[in-house]
Structure 1
Amino acid sequence: MVSSHGSHGADDFAENEKMGLLRASWFDLAGTTPEARAACEELLGRWSEPHRRYYTLTHLWQTLDAVEEIGHEAEDIALVRYAMWFHGAVHDGRAGTDEQESAVVAERLLSLVGHSRERIDEIVRLVGLIASHRPGEDDPDGAVVCDADLSILAADPENYSEYIAAVRAEYAYLPDQTFRTARLRLLEALLERPHLFHTRFGRTHWEGSARANMRAEADRLSGDARPKY
């Protein structure tokens, strides 16, 4: 993954380089017809919206990179890649609604690119799974999509801390106590699941690190929530 190097100019260079790599990834996937190029620019524009703090080009790149790690478990890797491109096409901070509106964008742009109704419907279905991260047992493509989206949970401590900060910034309008309560509830709900990940790779390589990160975060949030005397 492309990283920034501290200065504003270097940050701009890294962002431009990331854009170039993402364009190349899209062209490999969708082709270079005028319609495909227009769809790419619209998507990159959406992922670059200034109000975003976590659902950014970095998140898109990270999830596509995760797909490359676990994509061998997918049935149709192209559908999975499309789902990752579209899963954050709309982000206004409204869980469930964002995924639904992203699916609408997917239908429109994929139709312009020339995909069949059957493939569009499947990509839209995969995008919708992001809201719950609960694919069916016999859904390898859904498992890869959900695991790629959650792969950040298994990041090294430094990157996990950056992820937490980005999520907090995404919901900066919430008071601290409200955010802590909601975040802790989410962490506890995920930790109660028998498995966070659905692919063999995810369970083998990401599960342990993700649970350790989440437990540590939950412990910090619980401590912050205790009365101060």
Structure 2
Amino acid sequence: MLAITEILARNPSPDLRAQLQPDWSNWMGILGNVSDSQSRIFNRICRWHAGWGRHYHDLTHLAHFFSLHQKHQLSWEQPSAFFASVFFHDAVYLPWRKDNEWRSAQLLSRYWEQLAGQRSGLHLAEQIILSTQRHQPLEDHPDIPQFLDLDLAILASDPDRYDEYALAIRKEYWMIPDRVYLPGRQAVLARFLDRPTLYFTAQFQHLWEDRARENLVREIQQLKQKATRP
């Protein structure tokens, strides 16, 4: 899958790359390891996320993580795992496949020693990435639910921004016809609504839960309306 990811890769926006550079440097500083490959790997990550067909799972999505991290002054038991998970959790993103998270975790493992110089910290980052597949923590570690909450922060956007997000997701699934996409998307949103809470941490339940549920209900209604059109 890396071969396909490389084929789809494009040069990123210089502004977005520059925006993410300090966060990458912060992560490298935490790792305390210097290698010639670090800049090359950062460039590849930026190119992957600027790849053809990415309309939401792109560099803006990564930048949003770090913006939220700073805005809410979040703390992490293993900061390195947080940074690693942000940069790699969507490294492989091919909407027609069901193993993107596993392949992204494998990609992180492949590059970890070049970045960190040792294996310590890799396991938690892999578990965070794998947990994003179903948005359920795979291990009992406080960094995992907090990361998952940030990954779903977009659901609690204002209505206009949420509609942009929903449209971006539809564009990413361009290969799926409406007769399949509309009921499939409704089912995904309904499963989220069936959860006791969308967010795991008390902080983000308080800040985001109500608005996110309103947005999901509204999108389901829109999808149903589209499905009834001739």
TM bracket (short chain): 0.7 to 0.9
Q: Which runs of 5+ in 1 are unaligned?
A: 1-13
Letter in 2 for 1:210: A
Q: Encode CA deviations 1:145-182: one digit per residue, 9 max, x unaligned.
A: 11111110001111111101100000011111211111
Aligned to 1:7: none
Aligned to 2:212: 210
Q: Given the alignment, which residue of 129, 154, 157 partners 2:156?
A: 154
Q: Encode CA deviations 1:171-214: one digit per residue, 9 max, x unaligned.
A: 01111121111100001000000010011221010111100111
Q: Encode CA deviations 1:2-59: one digit per residue, 9 max, x unaligned.
A: xxxxxxxxxxxx9321110112210111146422212211111111112212211111
Letter in 2 for 1:218: I
Pair 1:78-2:76 in alignment = no
Aligned to 1:179: 181
Alpha carbon RMSD of aligned pairs, Å? 2.0
1:118 and 1:210 map into 2 onto residues whose CA distance is: 36
- Aligned-pair identity (%): 27
Report SS of the residue matched to 2:152: helix
Aligned to 1:18: 16
Q: Encode CA deviations 1:111-167: one digit per residue, 9 max, x unaligned.
A: 111243231122111111110111168421101111111110001111111101100
Report SS of the residue matched to 2:17: helix
1:95 and 1:148 map into 2 onto residues whose CA distance is: 23
TM-score calculated relative to the size of structure 2:
0.86
Which residues in structure 2 correspond to 1:4-153 (within 5 Å)? 15-31=13-29, 33-70=35-72, 72=74, 74-94=76-96, 96-135=98-137, 138-153=140-155
TM-score calculated relative to the size of structure 1:
0.86
Q: Is the 8 A contact 1:83 1:124 kept in 2?
A: yes
Report SS of the residue matched to 2:127: helix
1:129 and 1:76 map into 2 onto residues whose CA distance is: 16
Q: Which runs of 5+ in 2 are unaligned?
A: 1-11
Report SS of the residue matched to 1:105: helix
The offset of 1:94, in angstroms, is 4.0
Q: Is the 8 A contact 2:127 2:138 kept in 1?
A: no
The worse-fitting range, judged by mean Cα deviation, of 33-42 and 132-141 is: 132-141
1:142 and 1:46 map into 2 onto residues whose CA distance is: 24
Letter in 2 for 1:75: E
